[in-house]
Structure 1
């Protein structure tokens, strides 16, 4: 995965938000107070990037929408098929098959790759084997 994104896990949100090119993007900040600790989110829907942070504003998760996000900022080719992704990242720690939710619609298969200090979760498109979304997570928030 692009080191340029993984390096932000565990950092203060301000580190990412003031770095190029993110300092030029518009982010919406929201706070979820119904959880045991406040969860702070930053979303740039136009650029396909969302962050979730703890109450100290440290980034726990980074969500990347492959349809919108700038491919140059990551090392995984979004157009590669699932087999090619497995060649790049190796054997996944966990995987799941696609399914159809009666309310939310179709979801594609997924793979999770646990590393020493973070995890990479890749969700594939239901209609094709290419990437739909990439989630980077600190190990302490991996479900």
Structure 2
């Protein structure tokens, strides 16, 4: 599974932010200084797109949310069921069941696919058989 979005993993945020696909989007930048490693975040709520960068502003994770992400930018429709995802990608590298965290709330089931350049984590809605969020990560930051 390759989408043009995965090409930004490992590149600087500036490359993505100034590209013709994203340069008109309104991103909010924030810095997490209280973590063991400094993290820089860019969020564009209008398009359901966010990314996390290391201290050198190299993108290590991209998050796509089903609420408002533009469907033309990624090959998997967020209305896809888990069985549809499994039929497209086959057996995931790892999976997890839906669960309830007493502090963070409901989480849907998830599947992770690991490839040479990146990993894709697909989280499903807690009470619906559709995709909630897709996370694309550099292989060196996969938990």
Scaled by the length of structure 1, the TM-score of the pair is 0.95
How far is 1:90 from its partner?
1.6
Give the secondary-structure state (helix, strand or coil) at the position aligned to 2:8.
coil
Alignment partners' CA distance in 2, 1:80 and 1:48 = 17
Scaled by the length of structure 2, the TM-score of the pair is 0.95
Q: Which runs of 5+ in 1 are unaligned?
A: none
Q: Which runs of 5+ in 2 are unaligned?
A: none
How far is 1:2 from its partner?
5.0
- CA RMSD, aligned part only? 1.2
User: Which deviates more from structure 2 when the two are superposed, residues 32-41 or residues 22-31?
Assistant: 32-41
How far is 1:78 from its partner?
1.2
Q: 1:84 maps to what in 2? A: 84
How far is 1:107 from its partner?
0.9
Q: How does 1:1-143 map to 2 (within 5 A)?
A: 1=1, 3-143=3-143
Q: How many residues align?
A: 143
How far is 1:103 from its partner?
2.7
Alignment partners' CA distance in 1, 2:136 and 2:79 = 18
User: What per-residue deviation string (whole Å, max 9, x for no partner) do you get for residues 9-47 of structure 1?
Assistant: 001101111113311111111111123332111011121
Alignment partners' CA distance in 2, 1:7 and 1:66 = 21
Contact 1:10/1:60 (8 A) holds in 2: yes
